[in-house]
Amino acid sequence: MPVLGDQYQVGMQDENTVPPGAQVTGFRRETSHNRGVQLRYSYRLYPSPGQQIALARAFGCARVVFNDALQARQAAFAAGEPYVTDAELSARLTAVKKTPERAWLAEVSSVVLQQALADLNTAYRNFFASVAGKRKGPKIAPPRFRSRKDHRQSVRFTANARFAVLDNGKLRLPKIGDVAVRWSRELPSAPSSVTVIKDAAGRYFASFVVESDPGPLSGTSRDCGIDLGLTHFAVLDDGTKISSPRFLRRAEKKLKRAQRDLSRKQKGSANRAKARIKVARAHARVTSARRDFHHKLSTDIIRESQAVYVEDLAVKGLARTRLAKSVHDAGWSAFVTMLEYKARLYGRQFAKIGRFEPTSQVCSACGVKDGPKPPAVREWQCAACGTVHDRDVNAAKNILALGRRERLNASGGDVRPGPALAVAGEAGSRRGAA
């Protein structure tokens, strides 16, 4: 029986720790087990100086191919010519590699260049689908040129590139060499592709896409309602409160010092480049620590709950208020995404509650709506039944009840407690009155 353990968590120990968070794309509002899902496993790479030069060459060639193809399509559109197809772009790439001006493109793997074209095609498809209204979410802008000044670069190798994981633990990449890898765990199956990433902190990672089917976890009868917040990161319906770690707030002093040092360095100097990397590494440590916390908490909740319900928060709206820094520091969206894909992967139920549900105004004991309350009110007493509620725990109970409504009502289940005694002196009707 598979157990959801540390192999699917991010282990943050120091700046060299690999962030191996598995991610799955494509979710529905309610999630159940789906066999044969694709997961992404990330590992830290340690290329030699020569391999770093080869990777920089690959990053640059992929960027040039992407920009050339984008320029060709923009020029055709401006001239009123037909849309340049994917096949035509690929043929142009093959021809331009034979010219003296672009002969250096042959120094890198051809798969890397073809994947740069594939990235452009994906960007255009997403843009067209967004314009036509076929893509959910915010509108997507048209593709734009890649910059060599971007501190995050990546290239992708597919199975056609014949990359390989060697017996000695190194990763063999075409025209790059055998790169040392820090394996935090084994791959569950043969990878279909690998993306080599260089982040802003100068670290290298290999991100593998693999097919995985660990199967559902053992059944449990517990359902969990979660109310997300700032004072407490999460409050469960059973009264459990998880304090907010506030990783960014705790690191602000170090970040302030590093950013002040960066601002004092002359632009274009080597010392400024070193100071920039220090700032990037400080931010990377905050990001990794937050991701580690999200993974461990979401793992525990999925392991112990058969169904998980959360509120669909308007994070973008909250991020435009005076609480913006705290909202971004909490990382609610990333945490909910982890709950979604882990529920799908391990056979748990997951659903989001509408953001306009008055979870903080309704009494979870009798169901009477007591009215809106300012955020400073953390406890309140129901005027109908007299129950004293903790604001967050009551909201979590209401989220649980609303989540159960659709799933249990079909089989006649009760989503709220039975009738309670009326308060003395409360108006009512006589028995048998019509």
pLDDT band at 433 (very low <50, low <70, confident <90, very high): low
Give the integer Cα–Cα distance in Å for 198 and 163: 18
- Is 8 a residue whose pLDDT tops 60? no
Give the integer Cα–Cα distance in Å for 141 and 123: 9
Give the integer Cα–Cα distance in Å for 341 and 303: 13
Distance of CA 170 to the CA centre of its chain: 28
For residue 211, give the nearest of 231, 194, 187, 232 by alpha carbon: 187
pLDDT band at 16 (very low <50, low <70, confident <90, very high): very low
Catalytic residue among 227, 329, 340, 370: 227
pLDDT band at 221 (very low <50, low <70, confident <90, very high): confident
pLDDT band at 347 (very low <50, low <70, confident <90, very high): confident
Which of 15-19, 127-131, 134-138, 156-160 comes out lowest in average pLDDT?
Answer: 15-19
Tell me if 328 sits within 8 A of 319, measured CB to CB.
yes
Give the integer Cα–Cα distance in Å for 214 and 188: 9
Tell me if 232 sits within 8 A of 246, measured CB to CB.
no
290-321 per-position pLDDT tens digit = 999 999 999 999 999 999 999 998 888 898 99
227 is known as an active-site residue: yes
119 is known as an active-site residue: no
For residue 113, give the nearest of 85, 94, 99, 87 by alpha carbon: 94
Tell me if 196 sits within 8 A of 55, measured CB to CB.
yes
Range 97-102 contact pairs with CB under 8 angstroms and sequence separation of 24 or more: 102/64
Give the integer Cα–Cα distance in Å for 178 and 16: 20
Give the integer Cα–Cα distance in Å for 330 and 86: 41
- Is 56 a residue whose pLDDT tops 90? yes
Neighbours of 266 (CB within 10 A): 8
Secondary structure element (H or E) that encloses residue 206, with its range: strand 204-212
pLDDT band at 375 (very low <50, low <70, confident <90, very high): confident
Strand partners, 157: 194
Catalytic residue among 292, 340, 370, 392: 392
Domain boundaries, the chain: 37-212, 223-350, 357-422
User: Given this model, what pLDDT does residue 213 score?
Assistant: 78
Catalytic residue among 119, 311, 329, 340: 311
Tell me if 380 sits within 8 A of 65, measured CB to CB.
no
Token pair of 337 as six digits:
């995404």
Give the integer Cα–Cα distance in Å for 383 and 361: 12
Neighbours of 33 (CB within 10 A): 17
